[in-house]
Structure 1
Amino acid sequence: MANLSRRSILTATGALGLLAATPAQARDKALRETTKRTISPAGTTLETVGTPVGSTGFRRLAAGPGWPLVVRADLVEPSGGRDDRRTALTAFVQLTDMHVIDAQSPARVEYLHPFIGSAHRPQETLGTQGAAALVRRVNALRGPYTGNAFDFVLSTGDNTDNHETVELEWFLTILNGGTVIPNTGDPARFEGVQNSRSALYWNPGDAVADMYKDKGFPLMPELLANAIKPFTSPGLNRPWYSVFGNHDDSVQGTFPSGVPLIDAIYTGSHKIEGFSSTADAEKLARAMKTSPLKAVELLLGFSGPIRTVTRDARRKPFTSKEYVAAHRDPRNTGPGPVGHGFGPANAAGRDLYYTFQVAPGVAGIGMDTTNRAGLADGSMGDGQLKWIERTLKAGSSRYYDSKGNLVRASAADTLFILFSHHTSTSMGNLLPDPTNLLEPRRDGAALVALLNRFPNVVAWVNGHSHRNRITAHRGATPEQGFWEINTASHIDYPQHARIIELTDNADGTLSIFTTLVEADAPYEAAYDDASQPGLASLYRQISLNDLHMDPGLLGSAVDHNTELVLTKPF
């Protein structure tokens, strides 16, 4: 160790060891050392992070210090000097849980938010503007550690909130570029719960008392009128891919799709804005978490205050087949590729998984972990699991069989990165898939066990939890380990996306650098700011103050800006 330079020691141990000093000193020192290891941290959370101001009332955000790099050696110990040796293999961006939302739809259950916080969010009317601001941010960045332009962007599901045709149209326009009119129903006015005058919701344009104003939410008289005005998204300047999430498949991401009576609610003129019985609301909320068929029964019989709204055929729910068709429509190609991952084999809408080339020597696998039977959590059909196994075998010169025996093959080695909506711990929904009732369903543990057999699997990137969390999955040997990278949503605070860079350290190890980014919007905006950046700023600020905001979604330092080291498999 005496022969190592100070920089080599810091490179080997990372910024985490510096945190033993007083918090402010350790942070500043760690940030300085982190900056030395980057090419450019500008525009990322390595440079600055939105920081809440105050602890009570309606809190504002201000620019705070960035988050330093944390080196994680869970799978293998890093060696010094690797910054000077590393070669970039790929750099890309993960978006996840955009939840592009028609906040005025009759087919929503906002009235359940006291029991299921995600049923309604006070910021949701501004989601399209927030998503466009995230696109602007991504377009302005490169990999902070490699300096590489991004090879692609991938959105890991729940791209829409309630699988409405108009939500899908907005999502595709935001990512491809164009004008978005974030309004349905009456073209001249807002018809959602936030001008209902119900105490259940924040009524920003009305002095009526409500449960949000009781917690300090202010009046914003022009907010709803500004929220439905047209704006232009620049569109991504890199190729992008998409995977399917439970909210892209079913009503509120929970009820099974294709129930005619529920589908008719979407394009109808009656919107329930409250509940007649607290007990009935609690019962429906409970069923949404445990029993999709019971939830359908309760929803169809639910009663509460009803508002007449303007019918809109664009609210029609899309099917998985229509989801693929929209992505493959030439009008939605944008920066490419055609279909954004979905090819002719996916056209029927049942098998929504695919593989694609990430970069030379690196391949991606887009998975489908949504269970068409309903409920929020997912699983995987046995056919898809076997297809993944075949795909990994085809790109592996050696792997381990299910009994742990090493198998040598003749195929050239390829590194694999997998993408899905659900996480390894949220794939326990083994209800039979109504589109293939006889096919067994496989859980997250089965997928982890499969991936641990292949040393050239380096990462599994996913969403669904709305939480920043990075997990090391150790294998029977050091080379069989891989990293699971889970990123917070872009609807709930802290509204992150993640840059991921894969490098070869030329010492028998690989590094995955993960860097969180925020949308390109000021941390503070005037309440009457009608500009697109101003509305995106309010979107983030309101999400901070949501009554159901979960601070745990932020994750900890080991889930933020990291270097994840693993053994190079060949």
Structure 2
Amino acid sequence: MRRIALLAAAGLLASPAAALAEPAGKSTLQETIRVQGGYGKGPYHPLERGGGERYTVRTTLAPAGRARARARRSLAFFGQLTDPQIADEMSPARVELLDPAGGAVSASWRPQEALGTHVFDATIRNVNRNRVSPVKQGDGKRARLGFAITTGDLPDNTQRNETQWMVSVLEGGRVDPFSGKPLTATNSCPGATPEQIAQMNDDVANRRYTGVQDYSGYPSAGADRQAGFWDPDVAPRGGAYASFPRYPGLMDRAQQPFTAEGLRMPWYSSRGNHDGLVQGNASASSPIFQAIVRGCLKIYPTQAFDPALLIGRSGDEALAAIGNPAFVGRLLSGAGRTPPDPDRAFVSKPEYKQLQGTGDRRHGFGFTAKDELTASRGTALYYSFSPRRGLRFVSLDTVAEGGGSEGNVDDPQYRWLVKTLRTAARRDELVIVYSHHTLETTTNRTPDEEAGCDNPQGAGCDGDPRRSTPLHLGLSGRASIRDLLLANPHVIAYVNGHTHRNAVKAFKRGRSGFWQVNTASHVDFPQQSRTLELLDNRDGTLSLFGTILDTAAPIAEPPPGPAAAFSDTQLSSLARTLAANDPQTRPVTSGDGPGRKSDRNVELLIRDPR
């Protein structure tokens, strides 16, 4: 009784109302989830139920006719999934020791990252349960969800096993989020003692977690370095995670296989920087990362490296520092051990496409034009398709192969986009473009050729023999993506992710324009997805409804205590609460993951260009 009273006093037990709240089958029109005490404020807070949010009608691009609801008909109803960043949290190629520096490197580690596959499954489960449109057509009928688009950063570290996990969650069936294989002659750990080999094999047999969320893995680093991370088994070492509760056994529980429901509709992919670059920043062709990713040496926080040295540095500067061979050599000399795994290998662009499988035209990549595939030596991953007559979806690949978290569009892809939009206009098709980066974050001036190799089958390589320059950026330069989209009135929307926050913005020129719709991630709070429905109001305007969905996990996280018996649903609930309390979540999301009310449930009016 004393333990329960203490937990209640600390605010760690959910209220009865929150405990009964169940987002599954609901959208945020019916109920929302909020942080008790306020998002990003103070010590660890549980979550609670909030009221629903009506649609905000936005008329920057067209007026809202009074009779539109009585005449409208649905043209397309689809879902958007973005930025789950499913992480192999035990991978030697991760650079978690940078994370305490904050700022540009504050996404190097997250307290909830081991639960990424469970969160993604809970996201998909609620998309499946919201397949009937919340918007009535003029005849009283409601459309059914036809398909979903993914706007990048599905794996976190461009690894094969992470990519396989994300496909398994999307397709449904058994998902095994554990990494590490028994040591053999072909999966060895050079220099390991017999005792270390026996320990690693025992860890694999018992599916034990090895990583920065186990302080015993790096005891010599000292409490000051450990304080930059959260080990749910023991009392926090102080610092930013001092108020986090204990969940003994959580990290081992997170490694257990589970059955994913799978998305019950077709889905179409686009790549993000984490799909193609090491932790979303560095080329996977880097000899340093190639040398360690499948091996057994795990770089832990250490007194040899003070993350404070990187405060104020950009992500590129931080990775350049840790990419120095001599520096990495010093870190590796004191590294810990984790079971090696050949499935951690980095994936090339052709392999990334292959791992998507053959369904739904290779989940969009099968629509890539044959002449683009030929000219790019099979590396082009941009395409367009028409889900119904009069409507065209265009997927862009905005990953900068030369490195850097922000995006760009190389010149061959830009020229293809020009032709695609002209053809759509000639056919009088409405166009929705989607990609990973927003226009504001399509700012990368690094040519693809700086990836360091030109093998089309090589991970991290620029296999396209065509020159990438001149590069095309989102908002600047003579031939920006914004200007191209504005020059084509049939483009009505640009849908993306990357910033991990809900944001909707109108771009306008004269009487034409388009809406940029940016949706929060599945990894950081609020862990949301969005459905989008395009309707013809039959009065010379179109309406694009965006509806925010929370995951299907209950709002109330499990109370502190042993985690071995937690259900998969409880893991998803806990992940949401951890994400809401991550002290670095606000810098990662440019200040505010949930965004403004007018960025969430929206009706976006636009003139019909047809």
User: TM-score, normalised on structure 1?
Assistant: 0.85
- Identify the residue that residue 362 of structure 1 maps to in structure 2: 391
Extract structure 1 runs of 4+ deviating beyond 4 A: 277-281, 290-295, 343-349
Once the two structures are superposed, the pairs formed by residues 85-484 of structure 1 within 5 Å of their partners are 85-115=71-101, 116-141=105-130, 142-146=132-136, 147-185=142-180, 186-187=203-204, 188=206, 189-197=208-216, 198-207=226-235, 209-214=237-242, 216-277=243-304, 282-283=309-310, 286=313, 288-290=315-317, 296-297=323-324, 300-301=328-329, 303=331, 306-327=335-356, 329-330=357-358, 333=359, 336-343=360-367, 345=370, 346=373, 348=377, 350-396=379-425, 411-434=426-449, 435=462, 436-437=466-467, 439-445=469-475, 446-475=480-509, 477-478=510-511, 480-484=512-516
Corresponding letter in the other structure for 1:145: V
CA separation in 2, counterparts of 1:291 and 1:538? Answer: 31
Please list every run of 5 or more consecutive structure 2 residues that lacks an aligned counterpart in the other structure. Answer: 1-23, 137-141, 181-202, 217-225, 450-461
Please list the CA deviations of residues 289-332 of structure 1 after superposition, one character each: whole Å capped at 9, or x if unmatched: 358666532664563752111111111111112101112x34xx
Preserved contact between residue 516 and residue 560 of structure 1 (Cα < 8 Å) = yes
Deviation at 1:357, TM superposition (A): 1.2
Residue 174 of structure 2 aligns with an amino acid whose one-letter code is T
Could you say what secondary structure the match of 1:50 adopts?
strand
Q: Residue 75 of structure 1: which of 54, 61, 64 is its match?
A: 61
Call closer, same or farther: CA 1:357–1:226 in 2, change over 3 Å: same
Kept in 2: contact 1:205–1:222 (CA 8 A): yes
Amino acid across the alignment from 1:461: V
- What's the counterpart of residue 549 of structure 1? 585
One-letter identity of the residue aligned with 1:190: Y
Distance 1:234 1:526 in 2: 22
Report which stretch shifted further, 517-526 or 303-312: 303-312
Instruction: Specify the SS of the correspondent of 1:395.
Output: helix
Report the Cα distance in structure 2 between the residues aligned to 1:125 and 1:380, rounded to whole angstroms. 32
Cα contact 2:367–2:384 (8 A) shared by 1: no
1-side partners of 2:492 and 2:555: how far apart? 35
Greater CA deviation, 345-354 or 168-177? 345-354
Where does the alignment leave 5 or more consecutive residues of structure 1 unmatched?
Answer: 1-40, 397-410
Report how many residues are paired: 508
Q: 1:221 to 1:293 in 2, by over 3 A?
A: closer
Bigger drift between 542-551 and 521-530 goes to 521-530
Change (3 A) 1:139 1:302: farther
Q: CA offset at residue 213 of structure 1?
A: 4.2
- Higher relative contact order, chain-length normalized (CA < 8 Å, sep 6+): 2
Amino acid at match of 1:440: P
**Does 198-207 or 176-185 show the bigger shift?**
198-207
CA distance in 1, matches of 2:86, 2:574: 16
CA-atom RMSD in angstroms:
2.1
Offset, 1:280:
6.6
Q: Distance in 1 between matches of 2:427 and 2:336?
A: 62
1:224 alignment partner AA: M
Query: Which among 20, 44, 54 is matched to residue 58 of structure 1?
Result: 44
C-alpha distance in 1, partners of 2:401/2:343? Answer: 22
Q: Residue 508 of structure 2 aligns to which amino acid in structure 1? A: R
Task: Using the aligned pairs only, state the percent identity.
Answer: 34
Equivalent-residue separation in structure 1 for 2:148 and 2:48 (angstroms): 28
